[in-house]
Amino acid sequence: MSTIARSVLESYTRLGAATVHEAQGRTGALDSAIKPVDPRKVLVGRALTVDSRPGDNLAIQYAVTVAKPGDVLVVDAKAYTEGGAWGDLLTLSAQQHGISGLVIDGSVRDIQAIIEMGFPVFSRAISIKGTDKNQPGGVGSGIVCGGVNIATGDLIVGDADGVVAVLADRVDEVLRLAVGREQSEESTRQEILKGRTLIDILDLHERVRALGYDR
Ligand SMILES: O=C([O-])CC(=O)C(=O)O
Ligand SMILES: [Mg+2]
């Protein structure tokens, strides 16, 4: 599976998840319930998918052993939130293997330790309850996580706003679009600082009039 150039990962890190989501036509955003345990952390990297059963984390444990440095584990835990399928021990092991972070449609626990360890984790919920290590699952195959189809090799961008996935074969194109959008937002910021409103800048006066907002 192809890797993503370091310079591309760095550019995505600067852009942020919402800009990437807008730039690719408002697609790829995971459910809004999937949020960072530490909103100061930004996560960018190549997805390694994990298909996991609710209340069990054997597939996740296995994925840590086969992940490549830089991978982001993206886990479909079936939105099951009554079991912390990831905690500080898995975090320590993931860090030993150079894994960049975790996105899980499920729960995590030990979050104070995870925050102190500086490991980016995005989850649907937090649960103190334990999980079994018995069930079959899959690593590397297509999954749905937070309502989005994700394949191993897709790009994951997560920050305080949430998580967005970019299809592997659109990574360069979406980067160009996102940089363009960021440049246009920067000129909008300059106009706002000059005292103009977004209604002016986006030329929405006619629409406002037509909808009867004018007083
Ligand atoms: O025990 C587990 O399966 C999950 C956990 O709490 C840890 O990784 O620390
Ligand atoms: Mg634990």
Nearest 5°: CA angle at 85, between 81 and 86? 125
Q: Kindly give the pairing relationship between strand 148-150 and strand 35-36.
A: unpaired
What is the distance between the alpha carbons of residues 122 and 45, in angstroms, rounded to a whole number?
Answer: 13
Q: Is the pTM above the cut of 0.90?
A: yes
> Which residue lies with its CA nearest to atom 7 of ligand 1?
87
- Does 51 have pLDDT greater than 70? yes
pLDDT at 16 over 70: yes
137 is in an annotated binding site: no
pLDDT confidence bin for 3, thresholds 50/70/90:
confident
> Could you report the per-residue pLDDT of 184-204, keeping only the tens digit for each?
999 999 999 999 999 999 999
56 lines ligand 1 (CB under 6 A): no
Measured from the CB, is residue 114 less than 6 Å from ligand 1? no
Q: Quick one: what percent of the chain has pLDDT higher than 70?
A: 99
CA 93–ligand 1 middle distance (angstroms): 11
Alpha helices (runs of H) in 111-193, residue ranges in sequence order = 111-117, 171-193
Q: ipTM more than 0.85?
A: yes
Say if residue 110 carries a ligand binding annotation.
Answer: yes
* Average pLDDT over every residue of 39-43: 98
184 CA to middle of ligand 2, Å? Answer: 45
Give residue 53's identity as a one-letter amino acid code: R
Strand 155-159 and strand 121-126: the pairing is unpaired
Q: What is the mean pLDDT of the chain?
A: 97
pLDDT in tens, 77-86: 999 999 999 9
pLDDT band at 215 (very low <50, low <70, confident <90, very high): low
Q: Which ligand is nearest to the CA of 93?
A: 1
What pLDDT does 214 receive? 76
pLDDT digits (tens, 9 = 90+) for 128-177: 999 999 999 999 999 999 999 999 999 999 999 999 999 999 999 999 99
Please check if 109 is assigned to a binding site.
yes
Q: Are strands 101-108 and 121-126 parallel, antiparallel or unpaired?
A: parallel
Neighbours of ion ligand 2 (CB under 5 A): 87, 110
Interior CA angle at 110 toward 161 and 45, to 5°?
45
Residue 172 known to bind ligand: no
Let me know: does 116 contact 86? Beta carbons within 8 Å: no
Cβ 198 under 6 angstroms from ligand 1: no
